[in-house]
A and B are shown apart, each in its own frame.
Chain A
């Protein structure tokens, strides 16, 4: 019990003294996962909406692929992104392996199917005739997509939370493509893994608590937006 208590004390000490290393790690976590989530929203919402609205042969297969992708194991993503970015890999010339950029790419690959799958479900859950009603109101294709996304905003925000939650807590891919380089590509999860393996439990607990607080804070904001009091 002492261990946990000391860890919590240490965590608050590190937090309130604005320990530069911990702050750097926290900030990088936010940046990497935030950027990855943004990319996944851009791709996931547009592709998810298109798949939800379009009718084409093989649509069912695509939908099941997306749904499978929602549970993509981060280590597998890490493996493939590493292979692609490896010196001799197809994208090796970019020279971005073991950089925060590589981590953003890997995390975006993890989050995109999550956002896409939730978007797909959200748009499909709208009333069947809503599309026809919007068309009958004279909307262009783009206006229709915009109105549909607005109508589905509550489940879509759940998608944002799920996507962000998935990548901020992910460790496998980040450690593989980022390398956990001190002061450069070390994020909260990779640092926690490292400190634990070294037996520095107080620091590990401190990092863990920061991670929890962060996840809680972001989700709290998104929930506030989602549950915002609608007009009377």
Chain B
């Protein structure tokens, strides 16, 4: 057994479309049983990366190894495609019954009819669509269609599963129930999965690893906690939900911490930096505490700034409060504290956050960004 060998390894992968480089991935490894989520804005190259990794599109350069074997010849590509499955953004069902759709991959492989029946029935049940078996795939709802697409993909018992934003066109409750089912199926089958997701929360929930992409490049790969809390650069930070991103200079160093000047205000943060260096401070909204002035109790946070509420936006379970403290700052509060503190636009508040809760990114001059906390 090659326990330590990656199931998929892409080296120097490049894809050009109409002459321009749309994908440039020097190295990407996926281990057996891992779930890797790709996040990034539209046009970041997530779909291209998935299709390149599934060998559905031509590579301009580079190679892909599946279980250590190079997938390059036409025959190797064909053999490889028989061991994977892919679900696209649209269900792409065939104009026949739900049953025939789920059976499609098995029929293509020339599997015996009795075995097909068993596997199809099992997968219809798994995704809760057994009652639709004899309906036309053209006459079911969007959520049901995407369930059929997932059942069709998993019916072939793929060794690698590729999912390209399969939930993005579904309404929230439908998406939620489908996510739950997919989660349990992936847990049960331990299928290695590479998926592009639109919603960061989906990525957090299902993944072992998250890769943040932009402009055809992978900017950061790591466990969800690491990517969310220690983004490597400003782009990753803004994409993973860091609302406050401030640029400034290091003006003083004291022990492990330092003081940065941000638009004339001094913020204390922790990290190894050079004096006079440009830094970016990332403050997650959930780490910002709001108080009504004048506050009396001393707090362990040294960063305390008076400010005015500029805007309050409801975000479902909590509210996003935008403040102007001489620099913009964003905090999340629950509806409970919103009422207690009677927060509203124009109100004067005091905001505080701990020096240790700030993630520091050293401004990259050239080449790769350097993370301090990593």
Which of A132, A143, A150, A153 meets B108, CB within 8 Å? A143
Which of A127, A135, A153, A230 meets B56, CB within 8 Å? A135
CB of B244 within 8 A of chain A?
no
Question: In the complex, are the beta carbons of A132 and B85 less than 8 A apart?
Answer: no
Question: In the complex, are the beta carbons of A231 and B81 less than 8 A apart?
Answer: no
Q: Which of A126-184 contact B (CB under 8 A)?
A: 127, 129-130, 132-133, 135-140, 143, 147, 150-151, 153
Given contacts A129-B88, A151-B94, A231-B136, contact A136 B108 (CB under 8 A): no
Question: In the complex, are the beta carbons of A232 and B135 less than 8 A apart?
Answer: yes
| Minimum Cβ distance to chain B for residue A133 (Å) | 4
Question: In the complex, are the beta carbons of B86 and A138 less than 8 A apart?
Answer: no
Question: In the complex, are the beta carbons of A136 and B85 less than 8 A apart?
Answer: yes
| Bound CA–CA A7/B247 (angstroms) | 93
CB of B67 within 8 A of chain A?
no
Residues of A within 8 A of B (CB-CB), count: 19
Which of A129, A140, A151, A231 meets B78, CB within 8 Å? A140
Chain B residue nearest in CB terms to A135: B56
Chain B residue nearest in CB terms to A137: B105
CB of B301 within 8 A of chain A?
no
| Minimum Cβ distance to chain A for residue B366 (Å) | 37
Residues in chain A near residue B105, CB distance under 8 A: 137-138
| Bound CA–CA A231/B135 (angstroms) | 6
| Bound CA–CA A88/B104 (angstroms) | 55
CB of B286 within 8 A of chain A?
no
Residues in chain A near residue B199, CB distance under 8 A: none
Residues in chain B near residue A151, CB distance under 8 A: 94-95
CB of B302 within 8 A of chain A?
no
CB of B152 within 8 A of chain A?
yes
| Bound CA–CA A164/B208 (angstroms) | 59
Residues in chain B near residue A137, CB distance under 8 A: 85, 104-105, 108, 152, 156
Question: In the complex, are the beta carbons of A138 and B82 less than 8 A apart?
Answer: yes
CB of B220 within 8 A of chain A?
no
| Minimum Cβ distance to chain A for residue B47 (Å) | 9
| Bound CA–CA A230/B139 (angstroms) | 10
Taking Cβ atoms with an 8 Å cutoff, the residues of A that contact B are: 127, 129-130, 132-133, 135-140, 143, 147, 150-151, 153, 230-232
Q: A127-B92, A150-B94, A231-B135 are in contact. List 10 more A-B contacts (CB 8 A).
A: A133-B88, A135-B81, A136-B84, A136-B86, A137-B105, A137-B108, A138-B81, A147-B104, A231-B136, A232-B134
30 contacts between A and B (CB under 8 A): A127-B92, A129-B88, A129-B92, A130-B92, A132-B88, A133-B86, A133-B88, A135-B56, A136-B56, A136-B84, A136-B85, A136-B86, A137-B85, A137-B105, A137-B156, A138-B108, A138-B109, A138-B156, A139-B108, A147-B94, A150-B94, A150-B95, A151-B94, A151-B95, A230-B136, A230-B138, A231-B96, A231-B97, A231-B134, A232-B134
Taking Cβ atoms with an 8 Å cutoff, the residues of B that contact A are: 51, 54, 56-57, 78, 81-82, 84-86, 88-90, 92, 94-97, 104-105, 108-109, 134-136, 138-139, 152, 156, 162
